Amino acid sequence: MMPCPARGRIHKITTQDAAGASGSLMIMLVGTAITLPAIFRYAIYTYGIFRDETSELTH
C-alpha cells in the first residue's frame, strides 16, 4: 500500500483493478494455447533430427 502524496491516504489496488480487460486476456489465452504447443512440437522435431548427429567430445 502506497500513501497518496497529495492527501496522505492509503490506496489499495485489487487484482480486479490490476487485471486487463477480459477481451485482452482472452486473446492472450488463445494465443498462448496456440503458440505453446507449436513450440513443444518444434522442440521435439528438432531433437529427433539432431539426436543421432552428435558425437562424444574427446580432448
Name the nearest CA neighbour of 41 among 31, 49, 30.
49
CA 30/CA 58 separation, integer angstroms:
47
The count of structural domains within the chain is 1
pTM, full prediction: 0.54
* pLDDT value at residue 9: 63
Residue 40 lies in a domain: yes
Give the domain extent around 43: 20-52
**1-59 pLDDT, tens per residue?**
555 555 656 678 888 878 888 899 999 999 999 999 999 999 999 999 888 777 777 76
For residue 24, tell me if it sits in a domain: yes
Tell whether 25 is covered by a domain. yes
Asked, for residue 3, whether it belongs to a domain, the answer is no
Residue reference for cell 496522505: 8
Q: Residue 10's beta-bridge partner residues?
A: 3
Residue 57 lies in a domain: no
- pLDDT at res. 20: 84
* Domain assignment present for 4: no
**pLDDT for res 7:** 60
